[in-house]
Structure 1
């Protein structure tokens, strides 16, 4: 609980500092330099403010206790549930925004409403010798002070919550191995943060000056014409100040938001698998270093991805070569089947990702033959029914072997083609007797490529037939043994 107590202590310290700056410095200076009242009235005002502060503190404490409850509940348990950790993490992130809500809600209303009521009663009963419109000016001043306090509280709270966030994340990792995060969720947008901050910073001095000047004028000048002229002049200055602050805040927010949006867009492309993308270096401030670092990182990921792909391709090719090496007469069979399969895949306009999966599937389509005895696999003569049944098991064995390879999701696209490459279009194939388009696409493509290579390759008991004759046999088998679409695609690609 030490980190939790330090968290509460930092929040309390920041709150007292923000209140001191906003209320004592700004409010105190305005009251002391603009109001001319007796000591008795000053004591009565002090009583009103003290009573209002007590009401405010009670209201704000009740709201704060509700806001901090998810964090308090998590920290009070020796082993909190993962859902409680996530809820506490989200609530901690929300604390800067919640602090603004508390200040503009129970803090502002809890102070100003009782103060206005008591001051109105005091003026009506003659306890305070102040013009009634001072109550309205006080309300405006309270809004300004609360806004300033909220601004300070937001940014100091954003700093105070960081140790707690680190602790909660470490807790999630230690107890559940989970990286607790917002997953890209935005609590307060940069646009809103910068626009409101810049607007308040730009307009606060103008409003405070106008308010203080009005009070001074009302004390020293009795001419309503002069007061009216002042407010005409002040209105123009305020409008200009508000307009310029709003424009400056908008431009500042856009200047910060644009590079972030550009980086986020490029990050989404990287996330989708495009490692060739680069962020445009259009900025001359610190974002230039951030973009340069991002591009350097993506470039490194791209190089590593290419190396990994080469290693994987070598891995598949090596597996296929090791399988084919069991029989000198089938050496290179898997590589050739992969080559013919890619010819068909390109002819029917498969995507690059599908072509990559097809190539890997074709290289490993006979991997199940590892489980077939040499006496059967390498037999020169005709196979017995029992031996042929052993051969027919190799698609199922191949699928089982590939299912053992991790990560499973990398092998998943290969499994249907490995299992189904001996299915026939008319449903008389094996191992499942699938028919027509119920046969997976890769299985139908590899069946054509496998048959063509088997017919054109030499065997101990026969010489391979010419490609023209093999093509004629494939054409005769359209719609019975093989998919007509892939037969035609292979024939078109072969002619080209």
Structure 2
């Protein structure tokens, strides 16, 4: 994960602590340690040598750690730098966390714990940098795939659908799901759009656009995407970025209506009816109807299909869970239409078995 030289800035008014921190990383040639004996000196170093992680003492002369934190978190260019605070006082540590610190190590610190926490925060910083530089990364990673998709828009609709399915399968393949999932999803979505009264043009649009709902997962690291156990909070925050990545991948000229619809679905299919979803916390009809339709279909198919982290649920189990989440997650009108026509959706499921 850590390939180029990473800079760690250690800030402490006690020289012995700076020496100890430097010694902790002496066996890590890929890490450079910068040191500062007070907050003002630290800010000057940051201007010249932007660090990847800051290890920050709280009690210092001239400018204490809390003041440094407030300055760092108030500026866009430094707000994302992980800060690990050092303090033996519980109240100080809580205050630092409220101010924006990412982690803490009690003083006197354990060298191994400090190193592990700094390395973990360094990994998070590298993931942040990956997303920050997403446009350039995507240019290298998905240029061929997007070119193939743009060219396909000029072909027959049947050929276009197959190519969209294949592109959607890129993310599904990495997530160890099957191509049948995205085929079922497209047919489910078209059927629900029809039952909800959308025009034939809109039904076709959602049919061709919905397979790309998870295309952003190609930007999620395998160790998170394929993790068999539960994600920790930092990993989940990275996983949630697949909606943003998908939107970036699918940005295109307005005349490509299918890709425009796919971008909306990719960005919004994890928004929830009550506003508790992500990435934007949209609520109710702020969420595009395409995304509201795909959300219901995607959740149903995910629950009733085998996943790397759990076996498939029965249709009855899935419906009970969906009903319990009705007011929170789903458009109630669309969900009612779905449930009242469940037999039609089960026919699609039977047709496109895994």
Tell me which of 226, 236, 249 is aligned to 1:378. 226
State the SS of the aligned residue for 1:392.
helix
In structure 2, the residue matched to 1:315 is 163
Determine whether 1:395 maps to 2:255.
no
Tell me which of 320, 325, 328 is aligned to 1:477. 325
Instruction: Kindly state the Cα deviation for residue 336 of structure 1 after the two structures are TM-superposed.
Output: 2.1
**d(CA) in 2 for partners of 1:409 and 1:474?**
31
In structure 2, the residue matched to 1:430 is 278
State the SS of the aligned residue for 1:457.
coil
In structure 1, the residue matched to 2:305 is 457
Tell me which of 487, 490, 494 is aligned to 2:335. 487
State the SS of the aligned residue for 2:326.
coil
**d(CA) in 2 for partners of 1:409 and 1:446?**
17
CA deviation string 1:133-172 (max 9, x = no partner): xxxxxxxxxxxxxxxxxxxxxxxxxxxxxxxxxxxxxxxx
**d(CA) in 2 for partners of 1:382 and 1:367?**
22
Q: 1:206-245 alignment to 2 at 5 Å?
A: none
Q: Given that residues 337 and 450 in structure 1 are in contact (C-alpha distance below 8 angstroms), is that contact kept between their aligned partners in structure 2?
A: yes
Instruction: Kindly state the Cα deviation for residue 387 of structure 1 after the two structures are TM-superposed.
Output: 0.9
Instruction: Kindly state the Cα deviation for residue 389 of structure 1 after the two structures are TM-superposed.
Output: 0.6
Q: 1:167-206 alignment to 2 at 5 Å?
A: none
Displaced runs of 4+ in structure 1, greater than 4 A? 404-410
- State the TM-score, normalizing by the size of structure 2: 0.51
Instruction: Kindly state the Cα deviation for residue 360 of structure 1 after the two structures are TM-superposed.
Output: 2.1
RMSD: 2.3
**d(CA) in 2 for partners of 1:405 and 1:457?**
35
Count matched residues: 193
Tell me which of 194, 201, 204 is aligned to 1:346. 194
Q: Given that residues 205 and 258 in structure 2 are in contact (C-alpha distance below 8 angstroms), is that contact kept between their aligned partners in structure 1?
A: no
Larger radius of gyration: 1
**d(CA) in 1 for partners of 2:191 and 2:175?**
25
**d(CA) in 1 for partners of 2:306 and 2:258?**
34
- State the TM-score, normalizing by the size of structure 1: 0.37
Normalized per residue, which structure has more strand?
A: 2
Gaps of 5+ in 1: 1-304
In structure 2, the residue matched to 1:139 is none
In structure 1, the residue matched to 2:204 is 356
**d(CA) in 2 for partners of 1:409 and 1:355?**
13
Gaps of 5+ in 2: 1-152, 345-354
Q: Given that residues 164 and 212 in structure 2 are in contact (C-alpha distance below 8 angstroms), is that contact kept between their aligned partners in structure 1?
A: yes
Q: 1:408-423 alignment to 2 at 5 Å?
A: 408-423=256-271
**d(CA) in 1 for partners of 2:309 and 2:321?**
20
Normalized per residue, which structure has more helix?
A: 1
Instruction: Kindly state the Cα deviation for residue 361 of structure 1 after the two structures are TM-superposed.
Output: 2.3
